[in-house]
């Protein structure tokens, strides 16, 4: 049996009829969802990963995240690699150390525009939380053009950083019976099920 790979742009995968893209149509540095299918297309299997092509001659890919771990509450299509890169770049060269974090949308805040809320367990927290949030938001706009458009179009306001109690993520994982090295906190959720159970500082 032969297998072929088809792909969809990750940014449009959640749409009702996303466009299937052949290998000849892919571009560098665009996130895709890989679909494995037979030659006749009788069945297709979504492997669940998002990938980017880093070379077209020959074709080479890197895995950038999981399609189920994303935020697209407002059409921003944020994936795990983008939030991890943003966090890494903002902390680089500072004394800030992060033990664990996850991000969720706040769709209906009590006041003002909706926003992304970053829940962070710090080993060494920033001295200025406002500047940290501002720098993180700026980096997220660099990482994701859809997010940048929503910020500049005043659909979303700057992200908010909420400090989780020390060991709070471990406490949460233990409470759902998933404590251990084989289980990881999703970097992103399109809802607030996880963050609503985290103990805050």
Q: Are residues 54 and 144 in the same domain?
A: no
Q: Are residues 110 and 38 in the same domain?
A: no
Pairwise CA distance, residues 68 & 32, whole Å? 13
Q: Are residues 58 and 129 in the same domain?
A: no
* Other beta carbons within 10 Å of 200: 10
Cα-based distances in Å from 137 to 76, 82, 93: 13, 12, 18
Tell me which residue range forms the domain holding 20: 4-66
Taking the whole predicted model, whether its pTM rises above 0.95 is answered as no
Q: Are residues 93 and 75 in the same domain?
A: yes
Cα dihedral across residues 59, 62, 68, 69: positive or negative: negative
Per-residue pLDDT of the chain (201 residues; tens, 9 = 90+): 333 444 445 555 555 666 777 778 888 877 777 777 776 666 777 777 778 888 888 888 888 766 666 788 888 888 888 999 999 999 999 999 999 999 999 999 999 999 999 999 999 999 999 999 999 999 999 999 999 999 999 999 999 999 999 999 999 999 988 877 777 888 888 889 999 999 998
Tokens 């969802």 sit on residue: 33
Residue 163 backbone dihedrals phi, psi, to 5 degrees: -85, 125
Structural domains counted in the chain: 2
């Amino acid at each position: 049996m032969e297998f072929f790979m088809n792909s969809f742009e990750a940014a449009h995968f959640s749409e009702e009829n996303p466009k299937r893209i052949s290998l000849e149509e892919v571009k560098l540095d665009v996130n895709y969802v890989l679909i494995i299918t037979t030659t006749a297309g009788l069945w297709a299997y979504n492997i669940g990963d998002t990938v980017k092509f880093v070379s077209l001659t020959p074709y080479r890919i890197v895995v950038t995240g999981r399609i189920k771990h994303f935020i697209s509450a407002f059409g921003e299509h944020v994936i795990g690699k983008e939030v991890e890169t943003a966090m890494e770049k903002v902390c680089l060269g500072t004394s800030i150390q992060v033990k664990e974090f996850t991000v969720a949308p706040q769709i209906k805040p009590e006041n003002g525009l909706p926003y992304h809320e970053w829940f962070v367990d710090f080993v060494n927290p920033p001295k200025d939380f406002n500047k940290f949030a501002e720098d993180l938001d700026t980096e997220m706009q660099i990482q994701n053009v859809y997010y940048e458009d929503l910020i500049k179009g005043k659909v979303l306001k700057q992200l908010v950083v909420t400090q989780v109690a020390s060991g709070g993520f471990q406490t949460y994982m233990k409470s759902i019976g998933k404590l251990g090295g084989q289980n990881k906190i999703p970097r992103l959720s399109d809802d607030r099920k996880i963050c609503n159970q985290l103990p805050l500082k």
